[in-house]
Chain A
Amino acid sequence: MNVRTFRIGGIHPEENKLTHEVETKVAALPKQAIFPLSQHIGAPAKPVVAKGDKVKVGTMIAEAGGFVSAPIFSSVSGTVFKIDTAIDATGYRKPVIIINVEGDEWEESIDRSDKLETVEAHPELTPEEIVNRIKDAGVVGMGGACFPTFIKLTPPPTAKAECVIINAVECEPYITADYRLMMEHADEILIGLELLMKGAKVTTGYIGIETNKPKAIELLAQKCAEKFNGSAYQVEVVPLKQRYPQGGEKQLVDAVIRRQVPAPPAIPVNVGAIVQNVGTAFAVYEAVMKHKPLFERYTTVTGKRLANPGNFLVRMGTPMKDLIEACGGMPEGDNKLLAGGPMMGKALTSVEVPICKGTNSVTIISGDEAVRKEPQPCIRCAKCVSVCPMGLEPYLLAKLAAVQNWERSEHEDVVSCIECGSCQFTCPAHRPLLDNIRMGKSTVMGIIRSRAAKK
Chain B
Amino acid sequence: MNFILIAVAVLGGIGLIAAIVLYVCSKKFAVYEDPRIAQVTELLPGANCGGCGFAGCGGLADALVKGADAGSLDGLKCPVGGQEVMGKVADLLGMAIANGEPMVAVVRCNGTCDLRPKIAEYSGLRSCAAMNACGAGETACGFGCLGCGDCVAACQFDAIHMNPETGLPEVDEEKCTSCGACVKACPRHIIELRKKGVKGRRVFVSCVNKDKGPVAMKACKAACIGCGKCEKECKFGAITIEGNVSYIDFNKCRLCRKCVEACPTKAIHAVNFPAPKPKPVDSAPNTPSTPNDSSNPKVEKEEQA
CB within 8 Å of B: which residues of A? 85, 87, 90-93, 334, 346-349, 370-372, 432, 435-436, 438-439, 442
Contact = CB atoms under 8 A, between A and B. Distances in A.
Main SS class of interface, A: mixed
Interface in B71-130: 119-121, 123-125, 127, 129-130
A42 B119 CA distance: 30
Given A347-B134, A349-B135, A435 B125 contact: yes
B211 interface: yes
B135 A371 contact: no
Contact of A90 (B127, B130, B135, B215): B135
A439 B142 contact: no
A69 to B, nearest CB: 23
A125 to B, nearest CB: 42
B211 A435 contact: no
Contacts of A439: 125, 127, 129-130, 133
27 contacts: A85-B211, A85-B212, A87-B136, A91-B135, A92-B135, A92-B136, A92-B142, A93-B142, A93-B215, A334-B121, A346-B135, A349-B120, A349-B135, A349-B136, A349-B140, A371-B123, A432-B124, A432-B125, A432-B130, A435-B125, A436-B130, A438-B133, A439-B125, A439-B127, A439-B129, A439-B130, A439-B133
A131 B115 CA distance: 53
Contacts of A92: 135-136, 142
A215 to B, nearest CB: 37
Contacts of B120: 349
A347 B123 CA distance: 11
Main SS class of interface, B: loop
Contacts of B121: 334
Interface in B171-219: 211-212, 215
Contact of A372 (B124, B134, B136): B124
Given A92-B142, A347-B135, A349-B140, 8 more contacts: A85-B215, A87-B136, A91-B135, A334-B121, A346-B135, A372-B123, A432-B124, A435-B124
Contacts of B136: 87, 91-92, 349
Interface size class of B (residues with CB under 8 A): 10 to 19
Contacts of B135: 90-92, 346-349
B276 to A, nearest CB: 38
A442 B127 CA distance: 15
Nearest to B185: A404
A346 to B, nearest CB: 8
A370 B123 CA distance: 9
A429 to B, nearest CB: 14
A439 B126 CA distance: 12
A441 to B, nearest CB: 10
Contacts of B142: 91-93
Contacts of B215: 85, 93
A334 B69 CA distance: 66
A432 to B, nearest CB: 4
A50 B127 CA distance: 41
Counting from the closest, the 3 A-B pairs by CB-CB distance are A91-B135, A435-B125, A432-B125
A334 B140 CA distance: 17
A199 to B, nearest CB: 35
B127 A435 contact: yes
A348 B135 CA distance: 8
A56 B279 CA distance: 64
Contacts of A87: 136
B24 to A, nearest CB: 38
Nearest to B219: A93
A88 to B, nearest CB: 10
